[in-house]
Amino acid sequence: MKNLGLVVVTSLLSAFFAVFIYKTMFEEPQKILIKETLPAKQVDYNYTQEAPSRAAYASSSIASNPNFVEGAAAVTPAVVNIKASQESDYFWGGGGNSYGASTGSGVIISRDGYIVTNRHVIDEGDNIEVTLNDKREFSAEVIGSDPSTDLALIKIKTDTELPYLSFGNSDRLKIGEWVLAVGNPFNLESTVTAGIVSAKGRNINILEDQYSIESFIQTDAAVNPGNSGGALVNPEGELVGINTAIITRSGRYEGYSFAVPANLASKVINDLRQFGEVQRAILGVNIEAIDNKLAEKLNLPTVEGVHIREVTRKGSADLAGMKPGDVIIKINGKKTSTMPELQEQIGRYRPGNMVTAQFYRNGKLQQAKITLKNKNNSVAMSANHRDEFLLDLGFELRDLVPSEEKRLGMKGVKVVSIYRNSKIERTEMDPDYIITKVNDNRVRNMQECVNALKEAKGKVLLEGFYENYPGEYYYTFSKRK
């Protein structure tokens, strides 16, 4: 019996160590968006802020730096808590109401209540609630979101001016420089942590969108679930990034956190605010990273740059005279040593903008001026226009893109989104409805549609169709209050 017991104990210990060694040496660390899901019906906003101990503060290397104190004081009033909740009338296993929620952080970027956060914080919620640093609570409207950068813009309405942060210049950040992460991890409001910039231009393959841009700022500032959408600032309190993701084995912070750089975030947020969607410019090339063998083959002076494998016919790069085999090293004077750096630089511009590319061809340095196009190979910007008149009616519209017009054989206006409790929602219209007539007047684009709606008196009749459903569909509403 003693021998049997010894065998059992030895077997268990061997199994334990085998699993431990496997996880430690072979298992890939988990790459996660720092999103915190709340248990059903257990949302509590009566948080207690934890104050750091005097001993911990005194022993910190940042205690002697007064700029950290000033920076934290300037930032915390502009960082908010966000709760996105969704209620369903039915859930698996029985009747009744089910309720789910997730929390994160956000940064106020204007006096009138615009707030930037991560898309994954709000994308599963029907109701978005914002709690300010002074405990006031507001319902928020989603202005727009971008899956390619995991950013979103929301807005609250308030009669008072709000504290806010402006985007700083993330290009000035240097590796080794101090930064602060401000957010609401584990529902602890306005938590400030410090660290250094560990790397720039990091791609961790976490975003699944076809046109995703991952050129993260990597830091070792402590970032945990609930920090998503919070602020990454320099010691002076300038907003240099939006905290988005961590790499971890445990699901908690382990020293690797990532933020969308401010220069990219600023462009994305401005697009969402102005157009309701991101105006994405592309080069029209298929690219790959430069390694030592390829650099030697192409006679490059250093192992840096982005190699063009293919060029889209009549795309931006093609029309500028670029060819397969070229190696891009700069865009508008900014180094593009890696693919993420190139994607970030191009991601800062809109279709129709012109950029200057420096590149090597056959070992010689050359330059080209490139007029950027969109994914439809056009310099036109998308027309998901956030007209206040349309918002009052309760929907957002855009022009059909050329590929849609070709496929459908006609021009029209597509419904992008419909707001809850609006006149349009009460018609039971669905998104993706394509409007072709307003009160029997043919409309071919956004401008014609908006003009027709504004000129209509009393009752309005919309005529159109859904691409995947046969027949015409008609919706009516009244412009009277």
Q: Which of 344, 371, 398 is the last residue of a domain?
A: 371
Picking from 191, 164, 182, 162, the residue whose alpha carbon sits closest to that of residue 241 is: 182
* Beta partners for residue 37, in sequence order: 102
CA distance 322 to 345: 18
Task: Tell me, yes or no, whether 420 and 471 share the same domain.
Answer: yes
- Predicted TM-score of the model (pTM): 0.69
The whole-number pLDDT of residue 19 equals 47
Q: Which of 346, 371, 396 is the last residue of a domain?
A: 371
The whole-number pLDDT of residue 125 equals 79
Picking from 346, 369, 210, the residue whose alpha carbon sits closest to that of residue 282 is: 346
166 is catalytic: no
Token couple for 416:
């992008």
Q: Which of 244, 277, 310 is the last residue of a domain?
A: 277
Contacts of 3 (CB under 8 A, 6+ apart): none
Picking from 100, 216, 83, the residue whose alpha carbon sits closest to that of residue 137 is: 83
Task: Tell me, yes or no, whether 325 and 292 share the same domain.
Answer: yes
Task: Tell me, yes or no, whether 351 and 440 share the same domain.
Answer: no
120 is catalytic: yes
Angle, helices 262-275 vs 339-347, to 10°: value is: 40
Q: Which entry of 146, 150, 271, 399 is annotated as an active-site residue?
A: 150
Token couple for 114:
């615009």
**Would residue 251 count as lying in a domain?**
yes
**Would residue 378 count as lying in a domain?**
no
Task: Tell me, yes or no, whether 289 and 272 share the same domain.
Answer: no
CATH number of the domain where residue 123 is located = 2.40.10.120
The whole-number pLDDT of residue 379 equals 76
**Would residue 127 count as lying in a domain?**
yes
CATH number of the domain where residue 297 is located = 2.30.42.10
**8 Å CB contact between 115 and 141:** no
β-strands 459-465, 473-478: how paired?
antiparallel
Task: Tell me, yes or no, whether 306 and 262 share the same domain.
Answer: no
**8 Å CB contact between 149 and 242:** no
Task: Tell me, yes or no, whether 224 and 356 share the same domain.
Answer: no
**Would residue 21 count as lying in a domain?**
no
CA distance 16 to 29: 19
Q: Which entry of 198, 228, 257, 266 is annotated as an active-site residue?
A: 228
**Would residue 126 count as lying in a domain?**
yes
Q: Give the number of domains in the chain.
A: 3
Task: Tell me, yes or no, whether 415 and 267 share the same domain.
Answer: no
**Would residue 4 count as lying in a domain?**
no
**Would residue 3 count as lying in a domain?**
no
Task: Tell me, yes or no, whether 52 and 115 share the same domain.
Answer: yes
In angstroms and rounded to an integer, the radius of gyration of the C-alpha atoms of the chain is 26
Contacts of 124 (CB under 8 A, 6+ apart): 84, 86, 100, 102
CA distance 348 to 173: 17
Task: Tell me, yes or no, whether 206 and 351 share the same domain.
Answer: no
The whole-number pLDDT of residue 406 equals 81
Q: Which entry of 120, 190, 382, 385 is annotated as an active-site residue?
A: 120
Under-50 pLDDT residues of the chain = 2, 8-9, 19-26, 38-66, 89-96, 98
Task: Tell me, yes or no, whether 259 and 292 share the same domain.
Answer: no
Picking from 47, 29, 30, the residue whose alpha carbon sits closest to that of residue 38 is: 47
For the purposes of burial, counting CB atoms within 10 Å of the CB of 161, is it exposed (0-12), middle (13-18) or buried (19 or more)?
exposed
**Would residue 377 count as lying in a domain?**
no
Task: Tell me, yes or no, whether 118 and 201 share the same domain.
Answer: yes
State which residues form the domain around 444: 388-478
Contacts of 217 (CB under 8 A, 6+ apart): 170, 173, 179, 197, 199, 200, 202, 232, 240, 241, 258, 259, 260, 261
Task: Tell me, yes or no, whether 108 and 241 share the same domain.
Answer: yes
The whole-number pLDDT of residue 18 equals 53
392 is catalytic: no
**HSE toward the beta carbon, residue 361, CA cutoff 13 A:** 11
